[in-house]
Amino acid sequence: MATARTPRSGKSVPLTHTWPKVMLEIKTLEVTFVQQKCRLIFDPETKAAVVVDPGGSADELMTTIKELGLAVTGILITHAHIDHCGAVAALAQALSVPVYGPHQDDDKAIEALELQGECLNIPWSGEFQTQFVREGQVLELLPGHPISVLHTPGHSRGSVCYYCPDQKLMLVGDLLVHGGIWTRKQPGMDRAQLMASLTRLKTLPDDTKLLFGHGPDSTLGEEKEQNSYLAQA
């Protein structure tokens, strides 16, 4: 069973864009047969990096991290579905780094990760400890590039988005996909909560880049024009 704890302190930052001193780089790898995207986000100067949603392929991820010379400071989870968490334990152990996320409302889903893996035939690398994140918390894992947490339930109870205002980007997990939302029922899905979370996203600048868990990426402005669910929110 994976275990988790809630961090005791955290800051909040305005959800507005600022001019970055350094543009972060993003390496994307599809790590499961459902084409889930794991992201390596790093500072090209310092090589400080975070891993987001390592759903599988731990060996491939470790090889890429070594090839890029990255100094990983933490692993982020957007929600507790096995295709986003399958390789968390393996990476956390190999890299000796802490795990953050999702929100505490996904605690039951975390406990069920092994069963999720058996049902979906996605390998589970074992138990891990995580620090639950909360609305408004700011993670200082990439020096000079704060990562703000938004609790955005809907796809799961504890789904979160990670927002980097100075980079104009947001990691949205499976809250939505390009041009739509997940229509296949998932554990913890709630349509009313999802629409409320999408309403929150609409308040961000249109040039915010959205990094999805599956499929092509987009911007908030593009989704406002092309995604009927976001338009309805």
What is the per-residue pLDDT across 203-220, written as a single tens digit (0 to 9) for each?
999 999 999 999 999 999
Predicted confidence band at 181 (pLDDT cuts at 50, 70, 90)?
confident
Using CA atoms, how far apart are residues 68 and 22, in angstroms rounded to an integer? Answer: 17
Residue-averaged pLDDT of the chain:
90
Of the pLDDT bands very low, low, confident and very high (cuts 50, 70, 90), residue 189 is confident
Contact between 194 and 151 under an 8 Å Cβ cutoff? The reply is: no
What is the Cα–Cα distance from 11 to 233, expressed in whole angstroms? 28
- Is 90 exceeded by the pLDDT of residue 190? no
In 3-state terms, what secondary structure has residue 194? Answer: helix
Name the residue ranges covered by the structural domains of the chain. 19-232
pLDDT at 10: 47
pLDDT in tens, 74-96: 999 999 999 999 999 999 999 99
Average pLDDT over residues 63-73: 98
CB-based burial of residue 229 (10 Å sphere; 0-12 exposed, 13-18 middle, 19+ buried)? middle
**pLDDT confidence of 9, banded at 50, 70, 90?**
very low
User: What's the rounded mean pLDDT across residues 13-21?
Assistant: 55
Residue 179's region, left for phi above 0, alpha for psi from -120 to 50, else beta, is: left
Residue 182 is predicted with a pLDDT of: 74
For the stretch 124-139, pLDDT in tens is: 999 999 999 999 999 9
- Cα–Cα–Cα angle for 159, 165, 170, rounded to 5 degrees: 35
Tokens 């074992």 locate to 126
**105-108: long-range contacts (C-beta < 8 A, 24 or more apart)?**
105/151, 105/153, 105/156, 105/157, 105/158, 106/79, 106/80, 106/156, 106/157, 106/158, 106/159, 106/188, 107/4, 107/132, 107/158
For the purposes of burial, counting CB atoms within 10 Å of the CB of 1, is it exposed (0-12), middle (13-18) or buried (19 or more)? exposed
pLDDT score of 1: 47
Strands (E) in 43-193, as ranges, are: 48-52, 71-76, 99-103, 129-133, 138-139, 147-151, 160-164, 169-173
8 A C-beta contact, residue 31 and residue 56: yes
Give me the pLDDT at residue 13, please: 47
Quick one: fold of 19-232? Metallo-beta-lactamase; Chain A (3.60.15)
pLDDT mean over 186-214: 90
89 with 50: CB under 8 angstroms?
no
As given in the structure block, the two tokens for residue 176 are: 């939505």
What is the mean predicted confidence (pLDDT) over 37-61? Answer: 96
142 has a pLDDT exceeding 80: yes
pLDDT in the model for residue 214 = 92
**For the whole model, what pTM was predicted?**
0.89
pLDDT digits (tens, 9 = 90+) for 105-115: 999 999 999 99
